[in-house]
Amino acid sequence: MASVASAGEAVARIAYLSSDVILAVQPAPGSYHDFSDPLRSYAARRKPGLIAKDGPEVLTLRHNVDPLLSAFQPLRSGKLLSVTASSSVLLTSIPHLYKLAQYPIVLHIVVGSDFSDLTAVRQSGFIFLHSETIQEAQDVAISAHALAIKIGKGVIHFFDPANSAADDPISAEGRELLKALLDPDANLSNRRKQDESVALYVDEGRRAKITEASGEDGKFHGNSMTLVTGQSFENTSTKGASSIGSSVRGSSADSRPTVTSATSVGSLNTRLVTSDDILDTINAVWSQIKLATGRSYHAFEYSGPSDAQSALFLFGSTGLFVDELREAKPSDGFASLDSEKDYQVGSRVTRRLN
């Protein structure tokens, strides 16, 4: 099995396999991210993907042309789209980012030690997933695409390549796991549905919804993760009318979910996607990854003593934090601490201290 030497390479491969269209945003002429070379190589060889059988369309865009505007046309055509870019593109996209969040788009974002670009868009409606190691980058990239397809909302997967620069290469994940999680055949009919929205900056009322199937007893059993595939969308505005100032997202034509469970179905119930749906779905995805690979992931993780009296929560590059501990001067107050004895830091951080 092929090996993967960097987080960018891992992300590029998963995005290629999981998309119809990829927007590869370059920061400056002659400057490339870690995923630039793998994407160009895959596209040049026309390697087949799981979603696009002849390989996705890879579009290279400059960061200073509001590149995420180019995402609307393929998304409204029912295509699965992913973006590879640095975090700076998020700021220029703020006026229409909330609209993109209502489509199954995945943004793979490279960040540095400063996460301020992410905090600036934290209320845009996107789901955020973070990875640090190369292995996490590969698994979380898979999770991001699976979640976007199953829930119908946008996902931002962000990572700092510096944190995994010293990692050993990993094995590329087999296509079987991706196919099981993405279920491209079952989602094909839903992806082909057209979105009649036309505006870029005006809220047209598109809102992601989830469909549950009830059994013969009339009770609802699970959500579209286990019983039906695809998403439907609600349009809360009349056609041709705008809803400026509304917080309600836009809609496409209604979708008809496909029942995939052997459970007898009495009726279908469609409702708006909630945070509980998102958590339940990502946990189900991670359970499937654990079953196939043995690797465990959780939305929130703590590693340390059960009787700890205080904890430090960081939102930023843990690599920067660890470097400060490792390079502490004798005069620094924390210089005498044994990070493994006095404080047990999370496993992702401890790896760099050893």
- For residue 354, the model assigns a pLDDT of 34
pLDDT tens readout for residues 284-324:
999 999 999 999 999 887 777 788 887 777 666 666 666 67
What SS3 class is residue 84? strand
- pLDDT tens track for 169-194: 999 999 999 999 998 776 665 555 55
Owner of token pair 């009322």 = 205
Burial (CB count within 10 angstroms: exposed 0-12, middle 13-18, buried 19+), residue 242: middle
pLDDT digits (tens, 9 = 90+) for 85-142: 999 899 989 988 999 999 999 999 998 878 889 999 999 999 999 998 999 999 999 9
Mention every residue, 6+ apart, whose C-beta is less than 8 A from residue 153. 101, 102, 103, 104, 125, 126, 127, 208, 273, 278
- Give the global pTM: 0.77
In tens, the pLDDT along 138-173 reads 999 999 999 999 999 999 999 998 888 889 999 999
**Which residue, among 288, 123, 270, has the nearest Cα to 209 in the 3D structure?**
270
Predicted pLDDT at 337: 55
